A and B are shown apart, each in its own frame.
Chain A
């Protein structure tokens, strides 16, 4: 939140240059805004609708071999850095991709590649379809098994089961899920940067980056940033009115037993649906692995630039994750303390502020915060010298919504049980932290830490602005190799980066699942 506040500085900075900022509102800008909204809307539609069907199909067969595996696979995109996915999409559907031969044959002419809106859409759907499907599945699993028992007793067909049981469970989740997906697509930076390919398919985020790094037009950057903030803010406001929850969850409860047995054709349809989505999700992952293995991995591993980038990435991610965990813990603690002091009106307002504070971070994407600081610092210091600090802090704040989500339930439950007891026995301060809170929070904190670290490792937004030859992270290096058409190197790096992030996410999931007794 402190960083979000400092972003106000960017507005101040830009205010002195109002005329320039106003001048920046030209037709090109309008087109950028329109494209930003358009691609986000399309991506949402293409992710959410199939996700509904896939979730329904998955929920209808609570146990078939491989179901658990599919669900785990669906959690993987959450872990993969966007740049890795972008590369995978290119190596699958790109001009020189694995499928280009087939596509050329089918189309009757040479496959033009997937740059532009189609590439963006494919990548966004890859990220968000599994996420949405998991969230919908979660919603479907809240249907008590008694309802299914009842439905089978009165011989309810699958159509009326959908209308009377499944849809009422899905509908409340719909605005939230769609909203989350829309937000993620609206603020997506890496995908658009790498797959957009040209001014026709540019979003605000990428335009900000270009204004700062290539054109060096601060006034324009300010205008774009303000627009982006306003846009996202409006969307979030609309979403919160719809009751959306802007944070995602990585774990699923166990599926309840189902008592309706679908008919033959439905089974085939559902199976096909699941298989199709599986292929769509697994494809880019397989491509990453295949292309990555094709690269000269041993040479890459020996390269000092790669080693240095790895070391930098890990060091920054470690710092960022620590910071994120500490900040989140502080936020959670403060929030709880406020909710206990229920009487004061100001307290309630503050509590709401901390609640939405974490959600607000999602509104203000890293590139915007980065841009704000970039503009602010440009006149006072060497922008590239502060790169590590910026990357650490901005990524830490970015991971906070997820970290808070991991920590808060455990902390609130523990506090519920312990608050009075601690007050009665006079356990407070360091004693309380060491004896009472730490044993309970160790695991959720580790989860938050691993999650934050994975996010920070994969982030390209901030480093794209602040990166230079002296400070390079893995995603930055990856982008550089892509830019100079060293695709094989890029593929190798992508495999490496993707693996590290995946391992971290798996660790986070495992830590989160085993509840302390």
Chain B
């Protein structure tokens, strides 16, 4: 039903006032692509452009071949999961997921069934009435994923959604994402700092540097040691200081 749609940034230029970001890249339909790169290289901005939170000053954004450059976020065929604040704190799990079907929470019986099913699929059965504060960090992201399921949009954008979870939990969540992707064949753009995460679920990698796509290719090539030099440098320094970097990131 929500079979993937190709995503393309056609010379999309965007600037916050400082150095302009300039993206010219295509993401194949129905695949998981990891978007990697140093801090400030424009990873989140790329997702924001696709989601419609930012509008490029020049160029186009195409999803499934359709020009969506000027469409508001809710009209684009995308769902997005953020690192945090994916839920409304005062609404129950059920309602938070239900909002994916109807912004006014007027749900039909079919909608309710879909919500129920999505919660079961994401391992949240029996927690419909909980409030977000009664859930663990991992469970909250599961709710967000359940909402992605009921929205049935062909494109899923993940902006470091599991960065604040522990390793084991992160692996579970990644497997869940991979499973959902396999079922729905969504096009997934996945921003992450962790090479192992990218390796675990991504088929393709797009590497950004200084607001431009520095390299793009198959994940095997990238992680097989045959990737571009800049990427090797990025990964290398990662591996060398992996732990301390993890700690330092928490503070941001």
Contact = CB atoms under 8 A, between A and B. Distances in A.
Interface string B90-117: 1100000001100111000000000000
Contacts of B133: 517
Contacts of B234: none
18 contacts: A417-B89, A418-B85, A420-B80, A421-B82, A423-B52, A423-B74, A424-B51, A424-B73, A425-B74, A428-B74, A428-B103, A431-B104, A435-B88, A435-B91, A435-B105, A436-B88, A516-B90, A517-B133
A440 interface: yes
A423 B90 contact: no
B104 A435 contact: yes
Given A423-B53, A424-B51, A436-B88, 14 more contacts: A416-B85, A417-B89, A421-B88, A424-B74, A424-B79, A425-B74, A425-B99, A426-B74, A426-B103, A427-B99, A435-B99, A440-B90, A516-B90, A517-B133
Dominant SS among interface residues on chain A: helix
- Point out which of A424, A428, A432, A435 has the most chain B C-beta atoms below 10 A from its C-beta: A424
Interface of A: 343, 416-418, 420-421, 423-428, 431-432, 435-436, 439-440, 516-517
B250 interface: no
8 A-B pairs closest in CB distance: A426-B74, A427-B103, A423-B73, A417-B85, A439-B90, A431-B104, A426-B103, A424-B73
Contacts, number: 54
A425 B89 contact: no
Contacts of B89: 417, 517
Contacts of B41: none
A284 to B, nearest CB: 43
A420 B53 contact: yes
Contacts of A418: 85, 88
Contacts of A428: 74, 103
Interface in B72-87: 72-75, 78-80, 82, 85-86
Contacts of B88: 418, 421, 435-436
Contacts of A417: 85, 89
A516 B17 CA distance: 37
Contacts of B104: 431, 435
A77 B141 CA distance: 48
Dominant SS among interface residues on chain B: loop
Interface of B: 17, 51-53, 72-75, 78-80, 82, 85-86, 88-91, 99-100, 103-105, 133
Contacts of A343: 17
Contacts of B78: 424
B192 to A, nearest CB: 19
Contacts of A440: 90
Contact of B103 (A416, A425, A439, A516): A425
A288 B82 CA distance: 57
A424 B80 contact: yes
A86 to B, nearest CB: 45
B12 to A, nearest CB: 16
Nearest to B95: A435
A423 B73 CA distance: 6
A427 B101 CA distance: 11
A446 to B, nearest CB: 16
A425 B53 CA distance: 12
Contacts of A425: 74, 99-100, 103
- Point out which of A418, A421, A431, A517 has the most chain B C-beta atoms below 10 A from its C-beta: A421
Nearest to A428: B103
A418 B100 CA distance: 14
A416 B84 CA distance: 11
A498 B80 CA distance: 54
A431 B102 CA distance: 10
A417 to B, nearest CB: 4
A89 B126 CA distance: 64
Contacts of B85: 416-418, 420-421
A466 to B, nearest CB: 43
Contacts of B91: 435
Contacts of B80: 420, 424
Contacts of B103: 425-428, 431-432
A329 B172 CA distance: 43
A426 B105 CA distance: 12
Contacts of B72: 423, 426
Nearest to B147: A425
Given A425-B74, A428-B103, A420 B82 contact: yes
Contacts of B100: 425
Contacts of B105: 435
Contacts of A426: 72-75, 103
A516 B91 CA distance: 13
Nearest to B85: A417
Nearest to B15: A343
A49 to B, nearest CB: 41
Nearest to A418: B88
B84 to A, nearest CB: 8
A423 to B, nearest CB: 4
Contacts of A427: 74, 99, 103
Nearest to A440: B90
A339 to B, nearest CB: 14
A421 B75 contact: no
A413 to B, nearest CB: 11
Nearest to B106: A431
A428 B72 CA distance: 12
Contacts of B51: 424
A343 B16 CA distance: 8
A517 B91 CA distance: 11
- Point out which of B52, B53, B79, B104 has the most chain A C-beta atoms below 10 A from its C-beta: B104
A428 B104 CA distance: 9
A328 to B, nearest CB: 22
B30 to A, nearest CB: 21
Nearest to B157: A424
Contact of A421 (B17, B52, B86, B90): B86
A417 B83 CA distance: 11
